[in-house]
Structure 1
């Protein structure tokens, strides 16, 4: 089968910064290629048009058309022409696109289109209690209505999206995946009393709650250290240019001395930092199905994560991690402290977490599920 992904991001040096959507596509692409299928990745919003092949993936970078008032439509037309050219040349049989801002709303490829929910702008604005831009919601809904097939990485995201867009159609649930071979054996000694957060420093991921949680941890264990890895970001609500700056003012003075913000780390280096941590924390308010959680679970890390929505589709509370609401700072801190103090429990959670990743979130498992779905859509299209 010849599968193409249309995306605004991909974790490759030639493509600029990428987040969860790009990482998810990378992992799925590896799984599909491993099963003997062909993958093309079309990345729009790039500095220039280009084509190259690497690791078995055919990459097409697409420069957006700039013309005030018509940029989106002209860029969509450009993407449509490229897709249809590749279909005609028998290089694409089916196209998968992300739901973010509904890029396929005005694109009519000569092949089936599948949209996989990783969280639309409408979805995240809803979780953040922020107003969504009218045109973003319009295009996202239109793209979903026009798609041949609909996937979602979590049941929660599917249910919320259906309600927000008043959709009658159903979604097939296929989660995000990771390369469990890459996130397997520990590559570093565990540093006791270390708490790791990795991901973007942003309000929606609970980074303004994390200082208050760590203050509670530090009160009872002043040997505890908090390590932060990820790019800093501006804050939409306050218009502050740095979430990290906002965070620093929330730490107690002595607790802040035990905080180490490392900044961004290359994707292939993150494993070392996860391996050396005692506990990983993810106090987020807005996700679809977070790859970071799965990566930490694959490395047998004990996790304390948010208990919101999608969380129970990843972690079984008390079995392979703890789930606590990010606003409940004291309870969240108590769970972190329990894991810091109980190595046996950390190991138990880690072992169970790895089992779940192997069974549900490996690229082989998810690639096979995705292929079965693609085949169904191709059969309908014939």
Structure 2
């Protein structure tokens, strides 16, 4: 098969990327190793360039910065790349996220597949903010061109379908894989006692404010606690820093116990988790939550959100802890519970590790994707 992915965030050294980039970095090379041709059309602000990384062909397509017309010019550029690529080596599967197909040409003999990572409508609902008519229009247009869908969780499929009807088109839930060669099991002897770790963008929807508000109660029980925060600052459309706003809400006596380290890359993240006593991710809204799974893969205790797909990731009381991400008291109680019972902390951490190894291994998930791809190609002929 020849599978082509449309994205703007295929990981490249020195350039930040999000969850889709992390998924593609694991998934695309695995497809190549299994004997398939993989191409990626990736928007860039730099010049056009074609490179190979781990057997994956990445076509960097220059994007326009022209105000008002940028969206049109950029989609034309992507469409041209698809046309060139399809003539050279016919594409079997064209995969993108929710808006990817809005303005690309629908071509015969290519299966258009949308992987539901969480689009505009999904996050607007989750964050209780206004839906952009323009972005919603693009998603609806893109969905009409899709032949089939893969959702990264049951939750993202159910909630996306509330706003964007999937109709009778094939839909399958296939969760994202974890790179178990990068996120390896660590012994409990590597733990730095009372080290709390948060990794993610410093923004309201990740629950970092509520986590910081939980720290005073935790400190009253365990004064040795330190919260280490790893992630980039989020800035609004006016350039206002969320981190600066957050720092203004943290009591002076608590500030020494909360350290903001800035962003880390995928190679540094396993080391961050290695020394954690417990990893805490009280997200308000997620499509799946790779960071929680990555922490579990290192053999660490994880407190995750009870909202959205949280119960799909962690079985509360078995493979970790689920918290109310809007309630600092509950977050604090869960942290105290972990720190108070070493035996239970280790038991759930090991159960979480077992869950990741059995349910999120790349080989298992790769096979599920290939079966679905082949089925869709066959039905498209």
Q: Is the 8 A contact 2:230 2:262 kept in 1?
A: yes
Aligned-partner Cα distance in 2 for 1:148–1:167: 10
| Structure 1 residue aligned with 2:12 | 12
Aligned-partner Cα distance in 1 for 2:32–2:369: 12
Aligned-partner Cα distance in 1 for 2:320–2:185: 19
Aligned-partner Cα distance in 2 for 1:4–1:310: 28
TM-score by length of 1: 0.94
| Structure 1 residue aligned with 2:175 | 175
- 3-state secondary structure, aligned to 2:372: helix
- 3-state secondary structure, aligned to 1:105: coil
The question of 1:103 aligning with 2:104 is answered no
| Structure 1 residue aligned with 2:226 | 225
Matches within 5 A, 1:246-261: 246-261=245-260
Aligned-partner Cα distance in 2 for 1:109–1:371: 22
Aligned-partner Cα distance in 2 for 1:26–1:144: 25
| Aligned pairs, number | 377
Change (3 A) 1:67 1:252: closer
Q: Is the 8 A contact 2:301 2:320 kept in 1?
A: yes
Matches within 5 A, 1:195-210: 195-210=196-211
| Structure 2 residue aligned with 1:363 | 362
String of CA shifts for 1:261-285, please: whole Å, max 9, x gaps: 1111122111101011000000111
TM-score by length of 2: 0.94
- 3-state secondary structure, aligned to 2:365: helix
String of CA shifts for 1:332-381, please: whole Å, max 9, x gaps: 21111111122211211111111111121121111111111111111122
Aligned-partner Cα distance in 2 for 1:354–1:91: 40
- 3-state secondary structure, aligned to 1:200: coil
Q: Is the 8 A contact 2:203 2:233 kept in 1?
A: yes
Aligned-partner Cα distance in 2 for 1:333–1:134: 39
- 3-state secondary structure, aligned to 2:94: strand
Q: Which runs of 5+ in 2 are unaligned?
A: none
Aligned-partner Cα distance in 1 for 2:45–2:346: 44
Aligned-partner Cα distance in 2 for 1:129–1:233: 18
Give 1:70 shift: 3.0
- 3-state secondary structure, aligned to 2:253: helix
Give 1:65 shift: 3.3
More moved, 193-202 vs 243-252? 243-252
String of CA shifts for 1:59-99, please: whole Å, max 9, x gaps: 11111234443322232222112112212211632111011
Change (3 A) 1:148 1:242: same
CA RMSD of aligned residues (A): 1.8
| Structure 1 residue aligned with 2:213 | 212
More moved, 327-336 vs 162-171? 162-171
Q: Which runs of 5+ in 1 are unaligned?
A: none
Give 1:160 shift: 0.8
Matches within 5 A, 1:232-381: 232-235=233-236, 241-381=240-380
Aligned-partner Cα distance in 1 for 2:246–2:60: 36
Q: Is the 8 A contact 2:210 2:327 kept in 1?
A: no
